[in-house]
Chains A and B, each alone.
Chain A
Amino acid sequence: MDPARKRKIRLVVALTAAVVLAGALVWTSFGSATEAATPSQALHGAPGRSIEVTGKVVDGSVRRGDPLRFRVRDRNGATSIPVVYRGTIPDPFREGREVIVTGRMQNGTFVGQRDSLVTKCPSKFQSKPGGKTL
């Protein structure tokens, strides 16, 4: 086989593999990734579907205990939903912090999956310049 033809075959094989791989990646991603929503989208969305809600923990709403109860609101808004959650509570969890929790809406309450509560990674924390001390 001459080198030019060999190279062409190699190129075709490589490209095919790349296309197949990329296709599989796209296919599996859109198929099985969980939908992310804000609290207001969750409130108006179809109940019973598994979604991932991102929002801020409403001040004064946290009732620690088993289960943990709190409310999350939109990042820039007042709409909030009640959340019931069991499992580990990450250290940074606190009123006013942004959290992500996976679960489904049931009778107007968001029931979180066990251990699905995530707070935003602390290496990004920017202490608020407001507050009493400033």
Chain B
Amino acid sequence: MTGAVGNACLAVGLGAALYAAGAGVYGARSGRREFVTSARWAMYCLAGLLTIAMIMLESAYLRTDLSFKLVAQNSSHETPTFYKLTALWSSQEGSLLLWAFLLSVYSSVVLLVTRRKLREIVPWATAVLGVVAAFFLSLMIVFGQNPFAKLARAPVDGNGLEPLLRHPAMAIHPPMLYSGYVGFAIPFAFAVGALITRRTGADWIRSTRRFALVAWTLLGTGILLGALWSYSELGWGGYWAWDAVENASLMPWLLGTAFIHSVMVQEKRGMLKMWNAGLIMATFTAALIGTFLVRSGILDSIHAFGASTLGVPFLIFIGVVAIGSVVLLVSRRDSLRSEGQLESLLSRETFFLLNNLVLVVLCLVIFWGTFFPLISEAVTGTKQSWGPPMFERWTVPLALLLALLSGIGPLLTWRRASPATVRRALKWPLVATAVALGVMLVVTPAAESVTSLIMFTLIAFVLAAVAQEFLRGASARRVMARESWPAAMASLVRRNRRRYGGYLVHAGIAILFLGVAASSGFHAQKDVSLRPGQSTRIDGYTVTYRRPTAGINSDRGGTGAPISLGAVLDVRRGGDHWTMRPSRNYYKNNDGTGGVFGQYFTGDSTSEVDLRWGLKRDFWMAVQPDTTGLMKPLRELNRRFSNASERTQIAGFVALMEVYRRTAPPAQFRAIVSPMIAWIWIGGAIVLVGTLTALWPTAEARRRRAASLAAARLGRELSRA
């Protein structure tokens, strides 16, 4: 039943998507509006069908219906309910369905919002969205990635969700990331529509600006959640490793950042039309690469690529998108001419242009580094790869430059700024920066890392510039409206949401960089093997291994781990004193090697990091218990109790846990003291608040209807004068 309904949804959905594309094009070319409306309804239907499909698949996961291949692959009876639901997107088929579902929802919303606008562009945009949706649906139906595929015979139990993915951040990370990727399809589709119809003004940008901003925010949130997961779940203590997967998500985000800046130049000045259209096309292409290329295996080797079933259709699609975009851009270059000109180098648009260049170069560098294994294999025959140091060598200077630009940009005005006012605008931020630099040099050890010191200084500058914008704006309002400071501040933000929301985002990013610079420049790490009772010192802290712990079904993280081995440690510095309990979870392996008892020690195991968060510093602790001492008792248990009753076997495990606690072998510990790392997440939260501020419907839109009468009259009178 579930499978039949799901499959029917996909099949009918493919029909609806193709129809939407066809009807959109026909409606646009013949001018018959009813076909455009019909195409829009086809997209609504698609959203409805894919919602049903998602519900069907989730219900199969919830019931642990193991006759579904996907459920058997990455869920099981004993997987906790929450993780059963999130297991959907841990498989390739499931994430394709999620992608198509999100796309259909986004498309329906944008088509609903623009149903009475952009008459020429919308039909083509509908068609583009229909084609993209049809591509994803055909992957599921035609290219064998069917999420509803059944197994000939249902297994007794499934593999369970990969233990490493059992983490709250990882549960919402993929949908966030995908929402971001998919969201960029909307401005992309409208850009294509705008180019085809040669309506290259700012209208398509105005209608899709919010979608681009939402996509940018969700993608950024997804990236940060991934970093948070890496830091608090993976047992290495870092949050970013320049892994291909991470890079693939960062590239569209960087291009998207450039896009949401540069479209303002087109809105205000009618410039950069070609650039904006090209940028969003590149962003969407990068989003497609991010979705897929990592899963394709192409980065492992050129030769492995053919083996992936998805590789060829996806590469063709990406190629069509990229080449189609270039052809469209070139063929429409005459209608993409600038209306305005750069009037002065000392203007906000110049700095937007510079920031765009830096962001695009940053993206290109990351692209080059990520694909370097392929490039070098093609050029020299031997595969070489870029390690994190190479990435850092290139990206850190660019990031510093970006911080500088983001500090100066807001202080300038559009068109031109006179040197005198710029000097005045720069005065206080520079004074504040100098003071901050002095304090850092005297009070903190910041001078030990030159890069970090430069970064800190630039961050101080950005924050001071943003603060000055708030203060000067509020004081201007105070003078004008005779309001108190808080009221002036509130109405300032309310009346200029986009501007001040944007400033908040700048402040948030600066604070995020503060966390990055401090934690990467000044962290202390120690790997040490300790026996119970022994101590070690790190960064002035004394860490003492008190006793080992061992438990059955005792994991605090709710991951459903059967066995957890851990440690209790005391950490002490001066009067500060606390206890930490890192542990390691052991999961049953699914092929049964190791015997009834041993199978719990040959499967996956994951670090359960213990973290003490703090605004000043985090104390991070992971343990790697030594299980070699358990091997002999395990063999014994396997030999004697393999066929015993469940109760006896449980008693066997309890005894085994006792053996671990009693023998207490030395365990490997990793302790990390990271200063100010929490500010990365705090900065991220501020960015979120800032974008919400900028996205919130403006007072003016609500006022518009009431005011339009008066405005029009005023306008007529002005034009007569």
Contacts and interface: CB of A to CB of B under 8 A. Distances in A.
A65 B626 contact: yes
Contacts of B458: none
Contact of B385 (A52, A64, A87, A95): A52
Question: Interface size class for chain B?
Answer: 35 or more
B354 to A, nearest CB: 11
Contacts of A75: 300, 304
B83 to A, nearest CB: 14
Contact of A133 (B156, B162, B393): B156
Contacts of B368: 25, 29
B253 to A, nearest CB: 16
Interface in B256-309: 294-295, 300, 304
B73 A124 contact: no
Interface in A94-133: 94-95, 102, 115, 118, 121-127, 129-133
A34 B387 contact: yes
A121 B162 CA distance: 12
Nearest to B384: A33
Which of A118, A127, A130 neighbours the largest number of chain B CB atoms within 10 Å of its CB? A127
B670 A122 contact: no
A43 interface: no
Contacts of B236: 88, 90, 115
A34 B386 CA distance: 7
B27 to A, nearest CB: 40
Interface residues of A, number: 42
A91 interface: yes
A102 B235 CA distance: 19
Contact of B606 (A3, A54, A91): A91
A91 B229 CA distance: 13
B522 interface: no
A115 B603 CA distance: 22
Given A29-B390, A127-B73, A64 B626 contact: yes
B628 A65 contact: yes
Nearest to B95: A123
Contacts of A66: 529, 668
B174 interface: yes
B245 A124 contact: yes
Nearest to A102: B387
Interface in B388-430: 390, 393-394
Nearest to B170: A123
Interface string B181-192: 000000000000
A60 to B, nearest CB: 9
Contacts of B92: 126
Contacts of B234: 90-91
A131 B151 CA distance: 14
B372 interface: yes
B432 to A, nearest CB: 32
Given A33-B384, A133-B156, A133-B590, A28 B393 contact: yes
A75 B303 CA distance: 12
Given A65-B626, A66-B668, A124-B294, A34 B590 contact: no
A89 B235 CA distance: 8
B443 to A, nearest CB: 32
Determine the main DSSP class of B at the interface with A.
mixed
B591 A132 contact: yes
Contacts of A89: 235, 624
Which of B241, B244, B387 neighbours the largest number of chain A CB atoms within 10 Å of its CB? B387
A30 B626 contact: no
B159 interface: yes
Given A33-B376, A124-B294, A126-B92, A132 B383 contact: no
B164 A92 contact: yes
Interface string A25-45: 100111011111100000000
B235 A94 contact: no
Contact of B159 (A92, A102, A122, A133): A133
B69 interface: yes
A66 B527 CA distance: 12
Contacts of B559: none
A95 B591 CA distance: 12
Which of B159, B241, B626 neighbours the largest number of chain A CB atoms within 10 Å of its CB? B159
Contacts of B164: 91-92, 122, 125
B376 A94 contact: no
A15 to B, nearest CB: 13
B385 A91 contact: no
Nearest to B165: A122
B243 interface: yes
- A-B residue pairs, 6 tightest by C-beta: A33-B384, A36-B383, A133-B155, A122-B164, A127-B159, A121-B245
Interface of B: 69, 72-74, 90-92, 151, 155-159, 162, 164-165, 174, 233-236, 241, 243-245, 294-295, 300, 304, 341, 361, 365, 368-369, 372-373, 376, 380, 382-387, 390, 393-394, 527, 529, 590-592, 602-607, 624, 626-628, 668, 670
5 contacts: A28-B394, A64-B626, A91-B607, A122-B165, A126-B73
